[in-house]
Amino acid sequence: IIEPLKGEIDKIKNIQEFQVLKSKYVGKKGEISKLMKEIGKIEPEKRKEFGAFVNNLKKEAEAILEEGLEKVKQHLKEMEEKKSWVDITLPGAKRKIGYEHILKQTIRDVYEIFSSMGYKIVEGPEIETTWHNFDALNTPEWHPARDMQDTFYIEGKDNIILRTHTSPVQVRTMLNTEPPLAIISPGRVYRKDEPDATHSPAFNQFEGLYIDKNVTVGHLKATLEQFLTMYFGGSRKVLLRPSYFPFVEPGYEVDVDCMFCGGKGCNVCKGTGWIEILGAGLVHPNVLKNVGYDPEKWQGFAFGTGIERIAMLKYGISDMREFYRNDMRFLGL
C-alpha cells in the first residue's frame, strides 16, 4: 500500500487529485478500511497484532498524504506567483488615446485667433426661422437661395428651416446686444447639396461680425489678413473680388495668396496664385435697420467661410467625406 501511494502522491497537481487519492487510501471505502474489514478473518490471537499493524499503516499513509498536500500547495503557490510576475524592465505597452477631431481642432484654432483680437464666441440654433435666415438678412422671398431645392424645410411648415448658413446668428446677436460688438459664430449648417469631394448636405461654417463706428473695408481686409496669417502661418495677403451677398454692400469673395507656392501658381491654386476662402462685406444698411440699429451711426463688416474648407486646405485633405467617415487612420491625423 505504502509504495504505490508514494508513487501516486508525487504525480498529483491539484487539490482535487489529492482528494481522490486520499479517499482511495484512507477513505471509508479505501484500501486501509478494506484491510480493517479483514480483521474478522484473522485468528483471534493475531488480531491485536494485525490491528496495530493496520493502524500504523494508516498513520504512515496519512503522514505521506499530509506531506504530499503541502507539496501541492507549495506548487500551486509558485504557479500563481509566476503568473503575476512582472518584468519591470520591459517597455510599457502604449495606451491608445483619442484625438480631437480635425474639425474641432480647426474650430478651436479659429476661436483662439479671434479671441486674441477681442471677439466673443456666440452660438445659434440649427433649426431657424426663415425670417432670421433670410428676411432679416435682406434676402427677399424671390431670392433663389430660398428655393425648396436648396433649403431643407421642416415638414408642414413654410417658415421653419434648417439654417443654410451661420449668418442668422448675426441677426440674433444684434437683436439682443447693443453695439459696438465683435463676435465669431461656428456651427453646423444644411443645404440640399449632393455629397461629393467638396460638398456635404451638412457641413460647418463660421461667421464673423464686427459692428462699430466708422468701420471701413480697410478694417475688414486687415482683420482677414491677420486671421489668415495666424491660421495658415507665414505672412498672408488677401484679394477682395467684388461679389454679391444680399446682406452685405459692398460684398466680396475673398482670396488668400496660395500658401503652397508662395503665390507663384501651382496645382492647388490652379496656376492663379490665389485661393478662394471667404465671403465677406460691409453689413447692408437694411440688415442694420431690421435689427433696430441706426445705419447712420453704426457700420460693420461680416464674413463667413466653410470650416471643412479651411481645414482641407491647411491639412491637405482632398475629400470632404473623410471628415464624417470615422476612419481611425484619418482621425489620428
Of the candidates 191, 200, 226, the one whose C-alpha atom is nearest the C-alpha of residue 312 is 200
C-beta of residue 319 within 8 angstroms of C-beta of residue 297: no
Which grid coordinates are listed for 129? 426661422
Binding flag, residue 138, ligand FA5 (CB under 6 A): no
C-beta of residue 189 within 8 angstroms of C-beta of residue 165: yes
Range 302-331, binding ligand FA5 (CB under 6 A): 302-306, 308-309
Q: Which sign, positive or negative, has the C-alpha torsion 194, 196, 200, 204?
A: negative
Binding flag, residue 280, ligand FA5 (CB under 6 A): yes
CA atoms within 13 A on the CB side of 304: 21
Residue 138 Rama label (left phi>0; alpha psi -120 to 50; beta): left
Site string for ligand FA5, 141-170 (x = CB under 6 A): ------------------------x-x---
What is the three-class DSSP state of 290?
Answer: helix
Separation CA 220–CA 239 (nearest Å): 12
Q: Which is nearer to ligand FA5, 128 or 207 (CB)?
A: 207
Site string for ligand FA5, 184-203 (x = CB under 6 A): -------x-x-----xx--x
Q: Which is nearer to ligand FA5, 119 or 245 (CB)?
A: 245
Binding flag, residue 224, ligand FA5 (CB under 6 A): no
Which grid coordinates are listed for 280? 465677406
Q: Which helix (H) or strand (E) holds 239?
A: strand 238-243
C-beta of residue 247 within 8 angstroms of C-beta of residue 167: yes
Binding flag, residue 206, ligand FA5 (CB under 6 A): no
Residue 249 annotated as lining a ligand binding site: yes
What is the three-class DSSP state of 35?
Answer: helix
Q: Which is nearer to ligand FA5, 210 or 303 (CB)?
A: 303
Q: Which is nearer to ligand FA5, 207 or 322 (CB)?
A: 207
Binding flag, residue 294, ligand FA5 (CB under 6 A): no
Q: Which stretch binds ligand FA5 (CB under 6 A): 67-75, 93-101, 125-133, 277-285?
A: 277-285
Site string for ligand FA5, 241-260 (x = CB under 6 A): ----x--x------------
Separation CA 211–CA 103 (nearest Å): 28
Number of residues this chain uses to bind ligand FA5 (CB under 6 A): 21
Residues that bind ligand FA5 (CB under 6 A): 165, 167, 191, 193, 199-200, 203, 205, 207, 245, 248, 279-281, 302-306, 308-309
The binding site comprises 249
User: Which residues carry a binding-site annotation for Mg(2+)?
Assistant: 249
